Amino acid sequence: MKDYMNAHEQQSYLMASAAVTAVGTVLDRVSGRLQKEALADLRRGRAFIERALRTWIKPVNQRTREILMRKSAGVTIGVINDTAMQATHKEFLRYMKRIRDEVYQEEGRDYVYDLAEVAMAAACPGCNGAPKATCPVYEALHNLYIEPWDANHPRCEYAGSGAV
């Protein structure tokens, strides 16, 4: 039997390890509100997965074990609904804006907006009103978390900045 794990095996091990952590979180959150049978099944399931993980890692060398333990500390399973995802996105937009504002205060320029203006000046005059999903400028601005300039613009929410 080999004493190491390839990348795919490590990823599978980490997924199972995250499942144990997730079941533990569920048990902590709902232990008083679940039927005894359901709680017992969750506890047994966690115990079986933990035992399987111990058996799985037993033949692996010490170096690989240390790597897996270090990696498993950062692996979690989460459930994100649309509301939470939108809230996270808006918080990230505020964070990026704050960072850009700090740079603007120090240097007097907002380089991200300057790049956005240059891209729009080059690409948007020839815009044929293509859907946003196929527009590389729209996609780049959206992925850079640039706030839309005019959300009510008939063609594109990044239009109407004044310069383009």
Whether the CB-CB separation of 21 and 77 falls below 8 Å is answered with yes
Whether the CB-CB separation of 96 and 145 falls below 8 Å is answered with yes
**pLDDT for position 1:** 64
**pLDDT for position 133:** 67
Write out the H or E segment, with its range, that includes residue 8: helix 7-30
pLDDT in tens, the chain (164 residues): 678 888 899 899 999 999 998 898 888 888 888 899 999 999 999 999 999 999 999 999 998 888 888 888 877 776 667 787 778 778 887 888 888 788 888 888 777 777 777 877 777 776 766 666 677 778 777 777 677 777 777 777 776 554 44
Whether the CB-CB separation of 85 and 139 falls below 8 Å is answered with no
Rounded to two decimals, what is the model's pTM? Answer: 0.48
Say what angle helices 36-57 and 7-30 make with each other, to 10 degrees. 160
**pLDDT for position 164:** 41
Query: The tokens of 24 are what?
Result: 């533990």
Per-residue 3-state assignment (H helix, E strand, C coil) for 25-53: HHHHHHCCCCCHHHHHHHHHHHHHHHHHH
- The CA distances from residue 157 to 7, 52, 113, 114, 163, in Å, are 42, 52, 15, 17, 14
* Closest to 49 in 3D by CA, of 13, 99, 5: 13
Q: What is the DSSP letter of 74?
A: T
Q: What is the DSSP string of 89-156?
A: HHHHHHHHHHHHHHHHHHHS--HHHHHHHHHHHHHGGG-----GGG-HHHHHHHHTTPPPS-TT-SS-
**pLDDT for position 44:** 95
| Tokens 């020839």, residue located | 126
